[in-house]
Chains A and B, each alone.
Chain A
């Protein structure tokens, strides 16, 4: 079936470096994408979203890039901090569908 997946299950970076977390999706009809951050023992927390009519969106220290041609989504975190350590999920949905489909998650470990 159609799914959203992540390339790297674990990403380890040094504090202060930039992080890039990738996500592939398979449904070409998907038109809304979200990145969530989940810290241990907590529920997922919204980070940033993007709609398919855009290819880039920036937030505070985070940027989401969308490449619809290859169905790829990425989350860039600038100047990664220890507090950024968490599992990051991408999720997507599209016209006519009623549910978000979540990827399997990438664990980001920030080394001090």
Chain B
């Protein structure tokens, strides 16, 4: 298996633009997680899905952020409009079931909003 796949690996955009990050979880995994990592705040959970259904989105910073999982093999995290403070590395992770099992992380998307 190729592991969790994220695209793009790097994204540079101007403030106000829409940004869409993509994730393909490991086949057979039922849970998918979106994290954001910054120097100031460390690794934060934004949202997680179980069987394609959003379970906990309490970490989503504000309405500018939205996430979808239309099927078991694909998820998106969208920021609209983007702001400089959204600059971070965004990780997607998947696990076999819920939280109490090993989460496999993707390589991350480094987002820079200027």
B108 touches A (CB below 8 Å): yes
Residues of chain B at interface, number, CB under 8 A: 22
User: Range of interface residues on chain A?
Assistant: 20 to 34
Name B45-103 residues within 8 Å CB distance of A.
45, 48, 55-56, 59, 91, 93, 98-100, 102-103
Choice from B4, B43, B45, B102 contacting A46 with Cβ under 8 Å: B102
Q: Which residues of A contact B43 (CB under 8 A)?
A: 44, 89, 102, 105
Q: Which of B33, B42, B91 contacts A104 (CB 8 A)?
A: B42
Q: Is the interface of B mostly helix, strand, loop or mixed?
A: strand
Asked whether B59 lies within 8 Å of A43 as measured between CB atoms, the reply is no
Interface of A toward B, CB cutoff 8 Å: 32, 34, 36, 41-46, 49, 89, 93, 97-105
B binding-site residues for A, Cβ under 8 Å: 4, 33, 42-45, 48, 55-56, 59, 91, 93, 98-100, 102-108
